[in-house]
Structure 1
Amino acid sequence: MAGRSRAEMQLLKEERERRMQESSERCLGLVENCLHVGTATATELYTQGETLNRTEQKLDDIEEDLKTTSHHLRGIRSVFASLFSRSPKTEKENDRMVSKEVPVERLDTDLMRQKANDLAWDASSSGCEDAVDRNLVGVQRGLEHAKVLALELGNELDRQNSQVERIAEKTDKVNDQIIGQDIQIKKILRK
């Protein structure tokens, strides 16, 4: 350092400040991109959750229709039995599983609508340190938002995983009921 002039030292300092400011701007840009991707993911998860809700409701409707169909099949079997003087065979009723209602957690819509301009830094700063400080504050705020968003996404994924498991169970149950009713119809038609 003894061999460097004051002008060289000043140039090195300015170059270091410029690189530091560029680095903080890149960090800020990455955080903004992270929030953008997280918000897009949250929107897609919300849409997926609505689809899962409709699917589960339709399965519940199908299950109710199958109960009605089962009742009608017993009546038809009874009519056929009386026509052919046969006594109807007793049949085991399918155990009905009561669906558990889980409160639907919604993603924090205010968080999803958070604008990236909260993170922006003022380009008209009065010095490199001020600009870097503002960028770092923006990075900090962005990371705090990203953390909350990640937690909300995790909660929504947990809720949807439970719902997918319920849907799979209901689908298996409805499928078994349809197979059972198909067998009953074939038996009735053979009489």
Structure 2
Amino acid sequence: MKVRNRFRQRGVTLAEVMVSASISTVVLFSAITIFLSGISAWARGQGRMDAETQSRQAVRVVSDALREAMWVSVDADGMGLTYRLPRVDGDGAFEVPVIWDGIDRRIALTSGKLNLTDAAGTRTICRNIRLTDPESPGGLSTYRIFTPGPGSITRRLAVQVVTETNGARSEKVVGRKRETVFLRNIPELTR
């Protein structure tokens, strides 16, 4: 009867260990690199979404406020404006003929923030406003937040807001929104 020697198997050679360790290291570093680039792309995209959302919301708030205005006066530098709203009755409907409610309201850029001031106080509409337009030639031209339409009576107004937030690796990400607002309650036009 033959006795088998179960413990007589060959081991792994040094060359095989080195090759498998090298392949494992390459695969591990590749996975880490892909993971880090994914995180960077995510942060960049998140920053861009934040900047675009800030710009869009600021323009929407300004647009909603100015649509009902009966009079608008834009500052010479285009960084602020004063507007008036018509008086409303107890049901919230505008009184006819259109009459000013007696409150001067103001939207202006102050220390990188777009603020709305009315009888109730001042509230910030948008933060992190950038004073240069990235879509201008060279990307360094200043822009006007408020640009009135032609004519002596302001019937329409272009509103543009450019915001800047942090993206990946302290990269600055820019969001830009521009909209034209048509005023609805101008007394000279509603008579």
Q: Into which bin does the TM-score normalised by the smaller protein fall? A: 0.3 to 0.5
Which structure features the higher share of helix residues?
1
The structure with the largest alpha-carbon Rg is: 1
Which structure features the higher share of strand residues?
2
* Higher RCO (Cα < 8 Å, 6 or more apart): 1
Q: Give TM-score scaled by structure 1 length.
A: 0.38
